[in-house]
Amino acid sequence: MYCNNKEDKEDLFQDIVLQLWRAYPSFKGESKVTTWMYRIAINNAITRLRKESRKEKFSPLDEEAFHIAADDNYMDEQLGLMYEAIKKLSEVERAITMLYMEDCSYKEMAEILGLSESNIGFKLNKIKSRLKTLVNAE
């Protein structure tokens, strides 16, 4: 969701693991470990996405951005369209989508993202509707 190719995904994973390692001494136990880990992962992914979007503003899009991991043969056409639609969502919407796909409860999503459960529900319904529109448009 946050990366266009396998190498970028591996780099992001390494960045997240490194950040978890560095931040562990400051973990206070005020939330579940998984909540804390998700928050670090999402923050790292969003930071990376922002850096990449600044770079891409002035560089042409390459074909690989439209065919995510095509050489891996693990995605069918519909899944590829869904990932392209997810890329068009805002950062918060992507984070909610990722957590939803990880089967997190509304309560867990709210804790991780610092939103209310009702706001998560509202945003998730809006996201589903928007994704349906985006996928059907392509």
Task: Give dist(CA 56, CA 79) in Å, integer.
Answer: 24
Q: How far does Cα 37 stand from its chain's mean position?
A: 14
Q: In this predicted structure, what is the pLDDT of residue 41?
A: 87
Domain count, the chain: 1
In a domain, 105, yes or no: yes
Q: In this predicted structure, what is the pLDDT of residue 85?
A: 86
By the 10 Å C-beta count (0-12 exposed, 13-18 middle, 19+ buried), 42 is classed as buried
Q: In this predicted structure, what is the pLDDT of residue 6?
A: 82
In a domain, 1, yes or no: no
Mean pLDDT per block of 10 residues along the chain (138 residues) reads 76 86 86 85 81 59 51 58 85 89 88 91 93 83
pTM over 0.85: no
In a domain, 45, yes or no: yes
Per the structure, the complete domain to which residue 98 belongs is given by 6-137
Task: Give dist(CA 136, CA 99) in Å, integer.
Answer: 23
